[in-house]
């Protein structure tokens, strides 16, 4: 059965995002041109411009996809854990582990803020990972597991620490650095827990 025009358009969009994601992750945003994306996608430049205003908007679609996948991995790890405290720790560990993936590092943490600007990158992060972290922290504060305090600064501090750890892991040659980072993260989180 032939595909409808809507199905063909959606397939073209998915192809453009998938090819762009591979290229952006392997080469970096600045080293990838629209001509290469179109050639490797097997579409015309007109088809690309039908779906995206340009390279930056295409990159934004890739970044949103990566952010959503990381958020889904974090949520799955948290849901698999038992109590809310274990869920927080599992979710944070899943974020750092996911962020250790070079593709995630390049798209989400290196090129994301540089290409889209800090404010837009932050808004995308807030809509995915940061929102879940804030909700988890708020629940733990409400339950008395973490001392009463404003949630927003704590969320930003933990999010920033995890983002920085992931960026450090990208440059780190040590074979045990991920395990050491996860252990340090666990100790940091444990320091928040009320005795």
Q: What pLDDT sits at residue 56?
A: 96
Q: Does position 4 have pLDDT exceeding 70, yes or no? A: yes
**Per-residue DSSP letters for 146-162?**
B-S--HHHHHHHHHHHH
Are 51 and 12 spatial neighbours (Cβ–Cβ below 8 Å)?
Answer: yes
Q: What pLDDT sits at residue 146?
A: 97
Residues in the chain: 195
pLDDT, greater one: 4 or 182 = 182
Pairwise CA distance, residues 160 & 113, whole Å: 13
Pairwise CA distance, residues 151 & 161, whole Å: 15
Which pLDDT tens digit goes with each residue over 142-191? Answer: 999 999 999 999 999 999 999 899 889 888 878 899 999 999 999 999 99
Residue 127, CB-side half-sphere exposure with 13 Å CA sphere:
13
The secondary structure of residue 145, as a DSSP letter, is: S
Q: Give the number of other CB atoms < 10 A from CB of residue 12.
A: 18
> Using N-to-C axis directions, what is the helix angle for 55-80 and 118-125, rounded to 10°?
30
Are 127 and 194 spatial neighbours (Cβ–Cβ below 8 Å)?
Answer: no
Which pLDDT tens digit goes with each residue over 75-129? Answer: 999 999 989 999 999 999 999 999 888 899 899 989 999 999 989 998 888 888 8
- Give the model's confidence band at 131: pLDDT under 50 very low, under 70 low, under 90 confident, else very high: confident
Q: What angle do CA 151, 64, 114 make, to 5 degrees?
A: 85
Are 88 and 140 spatial neighbours (Cβ–Cβ below 8 Å)?
Answer: yes
Tell me which range, 6-10, 58-62, 162-166, is most confidently predicted by mean pLDDT. 58-62
Q: Nearest to residue 116, comparing CAs of 51, 70, 67, 49?
A: 67
Q: Does position 5 have pLDDT exceeding 90, yes or no? A: no
Q: Does position 1 have pLDDT exceeding 90, yes or no? A: no
Which pLDDT tens digit goes with each residue over 68-83? Answer: 999 999 999 999 998 9
């Amino acid at each position: 059965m032939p595909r409808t025009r809507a199905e063909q358009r959606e397939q073209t969009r998915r192809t453009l995002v998938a090819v762009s994601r591979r290229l952006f992750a392997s080469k970096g945003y600045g080293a990838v041109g629209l001509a290469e994306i179109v050639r490797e996608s097997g579409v015309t430049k007109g088809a690309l411009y039908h779906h995206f205003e340009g390279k930056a908007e295409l990159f934004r679609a890739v970044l949103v996809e990566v952010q959503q996948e990381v958020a889904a991995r974090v949520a799955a790890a948290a849901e698999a854990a038992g109590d809310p405290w274990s869920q927080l720790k599992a979710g944070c560990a899943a974020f750092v582990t996911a962020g250790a993936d070079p593709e995630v590092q390049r798209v989400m943490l290196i090129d994301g803020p540089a290409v889209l600007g800090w404010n837009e990158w932050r808004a995308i992060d807030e809509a995915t990972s940061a929102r879940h972290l804030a909700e988890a922290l708020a629940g733990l504060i409400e339950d008395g597991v973490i001392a009463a305090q404003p949630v927003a600064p704590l969320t930003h501090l933990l999010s920033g620490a995890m983002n920085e750890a992931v960026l450090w892991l990208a440059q780190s040659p040590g074979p045990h650095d991920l395990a050491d980072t996860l252990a340090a993260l666990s100790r940091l989180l444990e320091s928040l827990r009320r005795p």
